[in-house]
Structure 1
Amino acid sequence: MSAEQQKRRARVRAPELVGRQWLNTGGRQLRLSDFRGKILVLDFWTFCCINCLHVLDELRPLEQEFADEVVTIGVHSPKFEHEADPDALAAAVQRYAVHHPVLDDPELTTWQHYAVKAWPTLVVVDPEGYVVHVAAGEGHVEALRSVITELVAEHDAKGTLHRGDGPYVPPEVEESTLSFPAKILPLDSGTALVSDSAHHSLVEFAADGETVVRRIGSGVRGRADGGAEEASFAEPAGLALLPAEVAAEVGYDVVVADTVNHLLRGVRLGDGEVITLAGTGEQWRDGADSGPGTETPLTSPWDVAWWEPAGGVVIAMAGNHTLGLFDPRTGQVRRFAGTTVEGLRDGAAEDAFFAQTSGLADGGDRLWLADSETSALRWVEATADGFAVRTAVGAGLFDFGHADGDAGEALLQHPLGVAVLPDGSIAVCDTYNGAIRRYDPATDQVSTLASGVSEPSGAAVVDGELVVVASAAHRLERPVPPGVSAKLVSGASQQVKRPATEVGAGELELAVVFTPPPGTKLDERYGPSTRLEVTSSPEGLLVEGSGVGTDLTRRLVLAEGVEHGVLHVVAQAASCDDDPAVEHPACRLTRQDWGVPVRVTTSGPRRLPLVMGGLDDGA
């Protein structure tokens, strides 16, 4: 058998692309054979996932660079029930400016055919229909560029590469004053400021919530500072009003979470002047996350809130599952809470786990937060030793629903916003349930205030009335009439559709697969180039193998009698350009977090491979 035959025999044919429908194709239904001759990049995503949204932005320059050779296909395999709604998916494709075909995979059929275990996952298929590269997580642009460049050269030489346009057809979009607004901030003047996310600007409304007073931002995606008409944002979200004495000292009034720019911006209300406060414009991936504001990278700040006990502006850093803290007086930013591990764990702030925190509200002695990926309502409070994190509603990464009653049994579905009501109870924008929920700390009860709201993402009390940002309806709403009592809703509990991975009882080999991209090698100049951290939910799932180490392969021992759980795995590897002639080669860090639901059986596999980059040889 020739070397070429051996290579071909080892390759795996890409499975068929199976789903309910295609979006961004003008109604055309596609099959894998329609892409023969093209290099395919399959992006397995779900629109709740912040890492998936990062990858959408990372892929944009590659799509332009290889427009004639590569077709990107988004395979939308939903985590939450709401994400399986075809109308919700169509709205998300518009919201996030997805400019390639999207396969709607509501039953995770294609997900399972490709053996995907994490959102996001990228799969490269060559022009002959073979899987040649897999990468989980984000930060793989340079690796993809290397793989694609090699494939272009190889298939050009073989005559199997067909250049030309792909099947993308842009959808029709209706114009509106707001486009997927995110948050609302009442101002002392009686007006309200709204982050108009998909229009990349801020809109100030009169007290009626409909009359536009002014717009701050050019409406063009960008990161320019300057006057109200020249400044630009990229999908801004959270808004925080500084105390008057602080604003007078620093020269701006409002802090804006400029989410996709990974920045905090400051707005002076007097004339609409915009300045950059924190962030470098590059996404934080690893290393220092504390220091001078404009020298310290952030990662997808989703909401902000001034909280006096912390002495500054708390940042919901959705991109790495932490809370940050910005001090307007000094311009410094630092980690306030969280470890970067995605999950739900209470305790001391520095040890807590969060999961894509997306909403904050100042409750005086408590900072309330909506932890979206765990469908949880949580809070931070001051203690004698610092700060601690507590959970009011929420069970973990994979449980959600719409159920009222005792907080310990109540369920939410991917909430994005919170607001403190005049009586001290908490309104929750229960986004994927399309509802406004109420949590009463005095009674520890959860009820429903309103339903039928189109993806509520933020709320605030304006003149005693709750005003809600109905994001997918592109407007502000007042769904809770004054004086209406909360109603109890009996709803079913639900779990994430993602199937659990079957593993064998007792000893289990965890193998994180990583092959440095072509033209690079692992960077071991200053010690080990890889890192692996493993924890579990429940903690008792692991008898041995938890903790931090440098080997990407680890022996785990699973506890007897525990049949279900989640393995939390954080892996990273540093690789540098492999060119002896270059004195200072470019280096890149690849990092991925997995939350792998497992089902333990006596006959299950004894090896759990997680592909961070490359192909698993099954060794």
Structure 2
Amino acid sequence: MSARVRAPDLRGRGWLNTGGQELTLAGLRGKVVLLDFWTFCCINCLHVLDELRPLEERYGDVLVVIGVHSPKFEHERDPDALAAAVERYGVRHPVVDDADMHLWQQYAAKAWPTLAVIDPAGYLVASMAGEGHAEGLSRLLDDLINEHDAAGTLHRGDGPYVPPDPPDTLLRFPGKAIELPSGNLLVSDSARHSLAEITPDGATVVRRIGSGERGAPFSEPQGLCLLPSEVAAIAGYDVVVADTVNHRLRGVALATGEVTTVAGSGRPWRSAPAEGRTDSGGERSGWGEAGQDSRTADLSSPWDVVWFDGRVIVAMAGIHQLWWFDPVAGTAGVYAGTTVESLRDGALPDVWMAQPSGLAVSGNRLWIVDSETSALRWIRDGTLHTAVGQGLFDFGHVDGPGGKALFQHPLGVAAAPDGSVLVADTYNGAVRRYDPDTDAVSTVQAELAEPSDVLVTGDGDVIVVESGAHRLTRLAPSAVSTVAGQRHRVERPPATVPPGAMTLEVIFTPAPGQKLDDTYGPSTRLEVSAAPPELLAEGAGVTTDLSRRLVIDPRVPRGVLQVVAQAATCDADVEHAACHLTRQDWGVPVVVSPGAAARLPLILRGVDPAK
């Protein structure tokens, strides 16, 4: 590195996984410290948690990972909710509660997730946004270990992680539930990495399916779909499970409890393979109705599954799309969405979604809750519509007309017999009702603990998966109230941009030992759009240059720049070089201000922090 920048010290509202101890960089001197800026709503942040697990195990005597929780949603500022999330997602390193975004600003983070590496001498040596950095981090850690081992500044030994006491409840952070033909309920017991078949009263576990250990065969499973009997007879299994963290779909035979892999290679989807790149560096890879062998497809955090229009539709939360899966043909493909994280309606190939997490069917409509835009959306006749939801940064608990109502990170949805839709409004701790006939939202029940799904049984009972309370709760569906509530916007500090011309620059440096690869066309790609679109007078679109001249319309005071950047690299100076694709999506809130700097830098991968 050409400059040495002392890392800002750690400060937060509180600490988790340290036995009550407050950590300082001075106290960690001699260790490599990796700060992981995350927020527990963010699917990309959850991906990074899984990418870091092998590094924590491999470098456990020299590496200290510290999660810096910088919240997006209001609910995520609740320290009890953060503590629950740390347990829910199996975070086995210290976490500092950055509720006021102090560390976020000190380290100049602009996206969730962001990683910052601090060397054993206390200097910031790298910063990188997004996921997919495990290999580059491993190379960097090897370099730092060798350098500081030789200098005598590396201290080996145990880190500061202190595990919490193990819990004892019937379920642990259950995700989704379905009703079985027997009348029993099948629940994804997500934090116990298994499925639980439970009696209709929700009180007794009849049996468990899965080992209960992370990864074998389940890892934080979520959505469940009971196949039509005629399809199940051909496929050889009855239930499709969204095995979220394993990036797979599993099939479960109810008679035996046998679990098989029916879709997913186990590799998380990053982008199209290099040979699929277009001349402009795009990622159109020929997917469509033909699809591909489902077992070789790379999936990304499938969160829910439902039977619709003769196949299984998958909420692919990790890449902001819906996919389809044909259990008879054994094929899968993209159903809706472009992978851009935002809210845009229209024909299915071109829509934008943001972490779809719940699915339900009512007649010829497919209902979707899009958690990051706090939206309720629906598909009919090949077109996506939004019933409730205003964008990535607007949320709250407000009833009334659909165009003005607000949710906060909903994860579940169910169709009621009367044609209305029930929404598990997770971060508001409520079940909400949307009536398509009147375009009205009301509150059915509040003061629930992170409801993650709603199930309407064949008898018309409403069962809520109350994930934060580790239980199933029956509701009285007639108890409806109206909540005026509050409107919130994400308090992430916006970037200031000038009216008129400016430069957007995505800074990319290949990981150690890699170089840009243009074997299959241009190695980089940059896509820029805005919400509202009028914010950009010039500069929207796709190019292969990571620097772009933008023109900001002075008549639009604020908005969000949507930026998608990717770069193809390969190993340098080796006989059998492996190729890699780095990609990151940013939704950058901006405020137009005369005199603001005319350059907006975004970091795609580890670079010199002084540049």
* TM-based fold match above 0.5: yes
The answer on whether the counterparts of 2:130 and 2:584 sit within 8 Å (CA) in structure 1 is yes
The answer on whether the counterparts of 1:403 and 1:410 sit within 8 Å (CA) in structure 2 is yes
User: What is the one-letter code of the residue matched to 1:264?
Assistant: L
Partner of 1:601: 593
**Segment of structure 1 superposing worse, 360-369 or 522-531:** 522-531
Q: Quick one: distance in 2 between partners of 1:222 and 1:617?
A: 36
Counting only pairs closer than 5 Å after superposition, residues 41-440 of structure 1 correspond to structure 2 as 41-223=34-216, 232-287=217-272, 288=285, 290-308=291-309, 311-382=310-381, 387-440=382-435
The answer on whether the counterparts of 1:609 and 1:616 sit within 8 Å (CA) in structure 2 is no
The answer on whether the counterparts of 1:200 and 1:219 sit within 8 Å (CA) in structure 2 is yes
Partner of 1:227: none
Shift of 1:486: 1.4
Q: Quick one: distance in 2 between partners of 1:174 and 1:65?
A: 27
User: What is the one-letter code of the residue matched to 2:268?
Assistant: Q
Shift of 1:617: 6.5
Give the ranges of 4+ consecutive aligned residues of structure 1 lying more than 4 Å apart after TM superposition. Answer: 616-619
Q: Quick one: distance in 2 between partners of 1:270 and 1:103?
A: 46
Q: Quick one: distance in 2 between partners of 1:269 and 1:165?
A: 45
Q: Quick one: distance in 2 between partners of 1:100 and 1:485?
A: 43
Q: Quick one: distance in 2 between partners of 1:150 and 1:618?
A: 20
Q: Quick one: distance in 2 between partners of 1:50 and 1:313?
A: 22
Shift of 1:618: 7.0
Q: Quick one: distance in 2 between partners of 1:280 and 1:163?
A: 37
1:453 and 2:454 matched: no
User: What is the one-letter code of the residue matched to 1:561?
Assistant: R
Shift of 1:559: 1.3
Q: Quick one: distance in 2 between partners of 1:178 and 1:369?
A: 26
Shift of 1:329: 1.5
Shift of 1:526: 2.6
Residue aligned with 2:202, SS:
coil
The answer on whether the counterparts of 2:127 and 2:609 sit within 8 Å (CA) in structure 1 is no
Partner of 2:279: none
Q: Quick one: distance in 1 between partners of 2:359 and 2:236?
A: 24
- Normalised to the residue count of structure 1, the TM-score between the two structures is 0.94
Partner of 1:532: 526
Residue deviations 1:30-76 (CA, integer Å, cap 9, x gap): 22211111111000000000000000000011111111111000000
Partner of 2:564: 570
Q: Quick one: distance in 2 between partners of 1:82 and 1:341?
A: 25
Partner of 2:505: 511
Aligned length: 594
Residue aligned with 1:236, SS:
coil
Residue deviations 1:482-512 (CA, integer Å, cap 9, x gap): 5x34110110100111111111111111111
Partner of 2:282: none
The answer on whether the counterparts of 1:531 and 1:571 sit within 8 Å (CA) in structure 2 is yes
**Segment of structure 1 superposing worse, 118-127 or 208-217:** 208-217
Partner of 1:522: 516
Counting only pairs closer than 5 Å after superposition, residues 443-592 of structure 1 correspond to structure 2 as 443-462=438-457, 463-478=459-474, 480-482=475-477, 484-579=478-573, 581-582=574-575, 584-592=576-584
**Segment of structure 1 superposing worse, 276-285 or 28-37:** 28-37
Q: Quick one: distance in 2 between partners of 1:212 and 1:149?
A: 47
Residue aligned with 2:139, SS:
helix
Residue aligned with 1:575, SS:
strand
**Segment of structure 1 superposing worse, 458-467 or 104-113:** 458-467
User: What is the one-letter code of the residue matched to 1:605?
Assistant: A
Q: Quick one: distance in 2 between partners of 1:504 and 1:126?
A: 36
Partner of 1:229: none
Residue aligned with 2:15, SS:
strand
User: What is the one-letter code of the residue matched to 2:485?
Assistant: G
The answer on whether the counterparts of 2:125 and 2:608 sit within 8 Å (CA) in structure 1 is no
Residue aligned with 1:71, SS:
strand
Residue deviations 1:175-213 (CA, integer Å, cap 9, x gap): 122111000101122111101111111111122121222
The answer on whether the counterparts of 2:5 and 2:610 sit within 8 Å (CA) in structure 1 is no
Q: Quick one: distance in 2 between partners of 1:381 and 1:365?
A: 6
The answer on whether the counterparts of 2:196 and 2:207 sit within 8 Å (CA) in structure 1 is yes
Return 5+ residue gaps in structure 2 as ranges: 273-284
Shift of 1:614: 2.2
1:612 and 2:604 matched: yes
Q: Quick one: distance in 1 between partners of 2:595 and 2:607?
A: 25
Residue aligned with 2:65, SS:
strand
Q: What percent identity do the matched residue pairs reach?
A: 61
Q: Quick one: distance in 2 between partners of 1:149 and 1:407?
A: 53
Shift of 1:131: 0.8
User: What is the one-letter code of the residue matched to 2:369?
Assistant: A
User: What is the one-letter code of the residue matched to 1:28?
Assistant: Q
Shift of 1:527: 2.4
User: What is the one-letter code of the residue matched to 1:397?
Assistant: L
User: Whose relative contact order is higher, 1 or 2, with alpha carbons under 8 Å and at least 6 apart?
Assistant: 2
Residue aligned with 2:142, SS:
helix
Q: Quick one: distance in 2 between partners of 1:525 and 1:461?
A: 53
Shift of 1:422: 1.6
CA RMSD of superposed structures (Å): 1.2
The answer on whether the counterparts of 1:280 and 1:295 sit within 8 Å (CA) in structure 2 is yes
Shift of 1:616: 5.5
Return 5+ residue gaps in structure 1 as ranges: 1-6, 224-231
- Normalised to the residue count of structure 2, the TM-score between the two structures is 0.96
User: What is the one-letter code of the residue matched to 2:68?
Assistant: V
Q: Quick one: distance in 2 between partners of 1:593 and 1:331?
A: 31
Q: Quick one: distance in 2 between partners of 1:243 and 1:174?
A: 37
Residue aligned with 2:358, SS:
strand
Shift of 1:271: 1.6
Q: Quick one: distance in 2 between partners of 1:178 and 1:292?
A: 35
The answer on whether the counterparts of 1:460 and 1:466 sit within 8 Å (CA) in structure 2 is yes
